[in-house]
Amino acid sequence: MDGMAKTGTTTQGLRAAIERSGYYPALVAEAVEAAVGGEAISSYLVHQETTFDANEVRRHVTVLVLTANRFIVSHTDEQAADSSSPTPYATTSTESVKLGRISSVVVSRVVANPESYTPGTLPREVVLTIGWGAVSRLDLEPAACGDPNCDADHGYTGSSTADDLSLRVSEAGDGPDTVRQTLVFAQALSEATAATR
């Protein structure tokens, strides 16, 4: 099967996608299923990613689940043995967010040759950013006025950005199916959050 991201709408499909990812499937599935509980699944996305950290190769998996009332995100990563543990270990976390709390769903698409773009063509890269207020980034800089001779303190200006989760997939790294599946999940999440407003 192409790509590591999988999407769908059933509990059995979610379990199968987690198992196909091959990344500690029993651990990941148990955490996700406990968070979902008895709710019906509207959509899901399973994305495994490998990163290179200095001399180490690290894998991690993110599972996104949409139900009628909640958005659930689960993230699992593995750690090498260290001073706190003589053996390698994995950490799994899940967060459940009421749909009404989601403040933004941003889908950034990177498209090659935009002058000849035709509707329906897959982007070569998609970044899905979801904000619900748990994490905010504040970028500040000194404020200034238009007078080059002014030496008054004008305070600071800046912006606050909510980016609790950012997931990047690319056609080259993850395959076209992964890009398509990310767009399907993003659309389902956008529609669900719009319906709760």
pLDDT for residue 8: 57
For the segment 137-161, the average pLDDT, to the nearest whole number, is 75
pLDDT bin (cut points 50, 70, 90) of residue 133 is: confident
The CA distance from 103 to 130, in Å, is: 8
**What does the pLDDT look like over 33-78, one tens digit per residue?**
999 998 999 999 999 887 777 777 778 899 999 999 999 999 999 8
> Nearest 5°: phi and psi at 174?
-115, -15
Spatial contact of 94 and 74, defined as CB atoms under 8 Å apart: yes
Neighbours of 151 (CB within 10 A): 5
Radius of gyration for the alpha carbons in the chain, expressed in angstroms and rounded: 20
Does residue 162 register a pLDDT over 50?
Answer: yes
Own/partner long-range contacts of 75-83 (Cβ < 8 Å, ≥24 apart): 76/23, 76/24, 76/27, 76/28, 76/31, 78/24, 80/56
pLDDT at 143: 78
Residue 165 has pLDDT above 60, yes or no: yes
- This prediction has a pTM of 0.79
